[in-house]
Structure 1
Amino acid sequence: MSIGPVTRSTVLVLLMLATACGGDGSLSGGGGGAANRPPSFTSPASVSVAENSSGTIYTATATDPDGDALSYSLAGGADQAAFRISSAGALSFVGTPDFEAPGDADGDNVYKVDIRADDGSLSTTLSLSVTVTNGGSDAFRVRRVATGFAAPLFAAPVPDGSGRLFVVQRGGLIRILNPATGAVAAQPFLDVSGIISTSGERGLLGFATAPDFATSGTFYIYMTNGAGTNEVRRFTTLGGDRNRADPASGDVILSIPHPGFDNHNGGWIGFGPDDLLYIASGDGGGAGDPAGNAQNPNVLLGKMLRIDVRSDAFPADDRRDYAIPSGNPYAGSGGAPEVWALGLRNPFRNSFDPESGLLLIGDVGQGAVEEVDLMRPTDGGANFGWNLREGTQAYNGGANSTAFTPPVAEYGHGSGPTQGNTVTGGHVYRGPVEALRGQYIFGDFVNGTIWSIPLSRLVPGQTVPASGFTIRDLRPDAGAIDNVVSFGIDQSNNLYIVDFDGEVFVIEPA
């Protein structure tokens, strides 16, 4: 079929218009410009950095096909909260990463974060993996620093920069040890052997120097008196001599009746970061807490107590020389105002982590489970469940109620490598051994086993099982670690192990 004259003219006009508009003679149109194209990353998708790194650890770079200026931001990833980034692409950690205490979501030192490059219209995302590597020496040794103590129970620093330790003996003496030389001062710092009972588990059980000890010479002990009542007593040193206590200065500031049994006395005392005195009391003894003390908020047994020893709100009562902190859960009513937490069986050894402010409690179990509990500064009123729960297990038919705070770690009774019979609460390691930093180190009194758990894994509401413990095979240069009764630290955060048979050991860099 032929094309008529009008049709041919129309086609010719269209071709001329296309050419005049810069076209190539086709009918495809044009004149709108090329579409904007997204940027693309040129920086790698993975990077390795040494632990404790600060400042910029990675610089994100990308190109834009259209030459547009780019800005960078965080777009997600499991560990986004651990990072910050500048608009120019400089990525850094919010805190300093610690290889021994992984802070990433998977706990494997590989942090996942998404970075966005944006040209103002379109963007591209890069999924970055940041691997934290070990930046220090892992080597350490265990050295016996002293032996010959009589039933030592506790060690605490002499707060004078000397590196010395107070060593508390159950029979009533407190001695001063120089770990550098192994020398023990001939004169005891304090002798209360004539006023205590050592029947069963009684004795001189706890010790703490006041935060202002260097100027005031004030310290506190937890002891069982001759009648079987547990007491917290305040002492001062003799004049200006911080190496000797004044026995005449002793003053009972808190009395905890403990009738009927001579076990489950608790005994740990310590000052928190709030400068308040925390006191751990046992449930009063007897299998299963027959009096139900631990769940009774009106009695002081089976509790963590908290008092302010800087003032006296009970001047008419010579057995209550302290004030009640306003934040205590029963400060107004509903229970004994001294109570900070309840539901404990025998919280014999505990500690505050100086960096996080967390209180870690080693609560000795009944016949099945040993547990580690954790308290944040805001957790006043926590109920750890005894005598209705033993660890995460029911006891006396106790239900798994949300009213109870589960332990952050537990292990069962037995003779296996992650079993035992009596937990000895420990410390979060903050000392010079790189491999141990950020690890909660604790043990078992009966079999002498010592374990560690990264503090980052001890999360309220979650329980680390024994399979998550790292077994620490600590072999000292002399002696043997077989009855771990306590852990202690000095002012340099070196960790000490107190063995009930009379030995004291220190963990130090090899």
Structure 2
Amino acid sequence: MLSERMRNVLIVVPMLALLALLSACGGGGGSPGTPGPAPTPPAATTGNLAVVASGLPAGATPSIRVTGPNNYQQDLTGSQTLANLAAGTYSVAAAPVTVGRVVYSPSPATQSAVVTAGGTVSASVSYGSVDVNIALSEVVANLDNPTWLTAPTGDTRLFVLERPGRVRIVENGSTLAIPFLDIGARVFTGGEGGLLSMAFDPQFASNGYFYLYYTDQQQNIVIERFTAGSNPNLADPTSGLVILRVAHPNFTNHFGGQVTFGPDGYLYLGTGDGGGAGDPSGNGQNLNALLGKLLRIDVRGAAPGQPYAIPAGNPYANQPGRRAEIWASGLRNPWRFSFDGSQLYLSDVGQDRREEVNVQGADAAGLNYGWNTMEGTLCYNAATCDRTGLTLPVFEYDHGANDANGCSITGGFVYRGSAIPGLAGRYFYSDYCRGYLKSFLASGGNITEQRDWDIGAIGNVVSFGRDGQGELYLLSSRGSVHKIVRAAP
């Protein structure tokens, strides 16, 4: 038998040989060799945009929208760095902000910022204050139920409609003795009927055309074109061409009343649902009826044999059982609507509870505004209150107890005049029952800067008007016309 010492020697020798072999092969210690090059980090593909807003009082928030590549859109209410943006050009658009009676205007209102991969670019918006006070200045009084005021672009005259059928001219504060046009013999004035609105052709300066919306002696809604005469203050009463006649036989309310040209050059008109309460004939949801609709027609080639054509893009053209003139449906009594650039502001008078304003893109075809399934955002026909496919208003107000907030909205215009820059972009409206003047700012589907302008009592506000310079007016049932002006400090 081997001794203990010999056994240990026999174990250690093979282990030393194994360690020597591993060392020769580079394992288990020794020099690690020369290291290879460090890996290259991946190239940056995105960048950052730092938006800095200043100039607003404590507690006020800016209104900034950033848009860019790949349909990027982000609304900001304060200074913020937007990270990981795709490289490209971004637009930074800031809207005015009202705090109390002071409007803070952004500078610049719009700017571009180029985001580069791996970099950070800054965009600064500085707000400055403009104290806005407005008042009403009476322009003319003692008119016979004024319903509408308009003028050709750039014209200093005011064309004011009187419900019995006269178009009057107000020039330098005086109403001319002879009406521009008098069609009283053919106008029905019962209920809500009468001469209700007027639109000058976009080419009025060269063709002299203008269009009237009125109710005839059979209670039909009529759109008729006339031509200005050789005397610029007198129209040719024999030049009438009926463009469209819509039967309205059963009731003397809900005639609608607005005719205007859209930014696309087509003629739009808003018809009521035929009257009564609750749309008893179901016209609002009937696409084979012209009542309770916003209609769009092409009158550029109007002639006795073919007074209008159907514009390409009308949503129900060439569809059996649907009227090709319809642009939008589901309206109760769209007394007033207006365009502001690419936006449509459409107010619709409610039944018993809600008054509404719909703000949509001017090119949005085939919208259904919900009546008589809905009254604003409230279910009206509760048994079938299915909102599928309906476009609900972006702004509404409840009548309140005893109509404390109003009972019948009088829609107006977005201010784009030059006399009061701080009002730019605000939509003005009133209510027939309360006679107030209010406004709001619509941006990105949101309603902000709601304001009551505290103008005092001027009676029932029947309509707004806009002159050839873009300034706004209110027409009162008392027979007066008031202009919105800048008030003394």
Give the TM-score category using the shorter length. Answer: 0.7 to 0.9
Q: Following TM superposition, by how much is the alpha carbon of 1:481 offset from its aligned partner in structure 2, in angstroms?
A: 2.1
- RMSD after superposition: 4.0
Cα–Cα, structure 1 residues 227 and 165, in superposed 2: closer, same or farther, change >3 Å? same
Equivalent runs, 1:335-414 vs 2, <5 Å: 335-353=322-340, 355=341, 357-397=342-382, 398-414=384-400
Q: Following TM superposition, by how much is the alpha carbon of 1:492 offset from its aligned partner in structure 2, in angstroms?
A: 1.5
Match in the other structure for 1:146: 140
Per-residue displacement from partner, 1:242-291 (whole Å, max 9, x unpaired)? Answer: 21111111121101000110100001000011110001100000000001
| TM-score, normalised by the number of residues in structure 2 | 0.76
The answer as to whether partners of 1:100 and 1:437 remain within 8 angstroms in 2 is: no
Equivalent runs, 1:123-162 vs 2, <5 Å: 130-134=124-128, 136-159=130-153, 161-162=154-155
Work out the CA distance in 1 between the residues paired with 2:123 and 2:91. Answer: 16
Equivalent runs, 1:431-442 vs 2, <5 Å: 431-432=417-418, 433-442=420-429
Partner amino acid for 2:427?
Y
Q: Which one is further off, 282-291 or 378-387? A: 378-387
Correspondence for 1:501 among 471, 478, 484: 478
Partner amino acid for 1:325?
P
The answer as to whether partners of 1:83 and 1:92 remain within 8 angstroms in 2 is: no
The answer as to whether partners of 1:328 and 1:337 remain within 8 angstroms in 2 is: yes
Correspondence for 1:94 among 82, 91, 94: 91
Match in the other structure for 1:232: 223
Q: Following TM superposition, by how much is the alpha carbon of 1:305 offset from its aligned partner in structure 2, in angstroms?
A: 0.4
Work out the CA distance in 2 between the residues paired with 1:400 and 1:451. Answer: 32
Match in the other structure for 2:232: 242
The answer as to whether partners of 1:100 and 1:435 remain within 8 angstroms in 2 is: no
Match in the other structure for 2:162: 169
Match in the other structure for 1:207: 198
Work out the CA distance in 2 between the residues paired with 1:489 and 1:216. Answer: 22
Cα–Cα, structure 1 residues 431 and 262, in superposed 2: closer, same or farther, change >3 Å? same
Match in the other structure for 2:443: 456
Equivalent runs, 1:67-82 vs 2, <5 Å: 78-79=74-75
Match in the other structure for 1:278: 268
Higher percent of residues as strand: 2
Per-residue displacement from partner, 1:350-372 (whole Å, max 9, x unpaired)? Answer: 1111x3x2121110000111111
Work out the CA distance in 2 between the residues paired with 1:116 and 1:351. Answer: 38
Per-residue displacement from partner, 1:295-326 (whole Å, max 9, x unpaired)? Answer: 100010000000001125993xxxx6100012
Q: Does 1:48 align with 2:54?
A: yes
The answer as to whether partners of 1:114 and 1:125 remain within 8 angstroms in 2 is: no
Work out the CA distance in 2 between the residues paired with 1:84 and 1:194. Answer: 67
Structure 1 spans left out of the alignment, 5+ residues: 1-28, 37-43, 51-72, 86-90
> How many equivalent residue pairs?
422
| TM-score, normalised by the number of residues in structure 1 | 0.73
Correspondence for 1:323 among 265, 288, 309: 309
Work out the CA distance in 2 between the residues paired with 1:209 and 1:150. Answer: 22
Please say which structure displays the higher CA radius of gyration.
2
The answer as to whether partners of 1:100 and 1:439 remain within 8 angstroms in 2 is: no
Cα–Cα, structure 1 residues 507 and 124, in superposed 2: closer, same or farther, change >3 Å? same
Q: Following TM superposition, by how much is the alpha carbon of 1:142 offset from its aligned partner in structure 2, in angstroms?
A: 2.0
Match in the other structure for 1:186: 177
Partner amino acid for 2:254?
H
Identity, % of aligned pairs? 39
Cα–Cα, structure 1 residues 468 and 140, in superposed 2: closer, same or farther, change >3 Å? closer
Match in the other structure for 1:474: 455
Cα–Cα, structure 1 residues 46 and 252, in superposed 2: closer, same or farther, change >3 Å? closer
The answer as to whether partners of 2:164 and 2:189 remain within 8 angstroms in 1 is: yes
Structure 2 spans left out of the alignment, 5+ residues: 1-33, 42-49, 57-68, 83-87
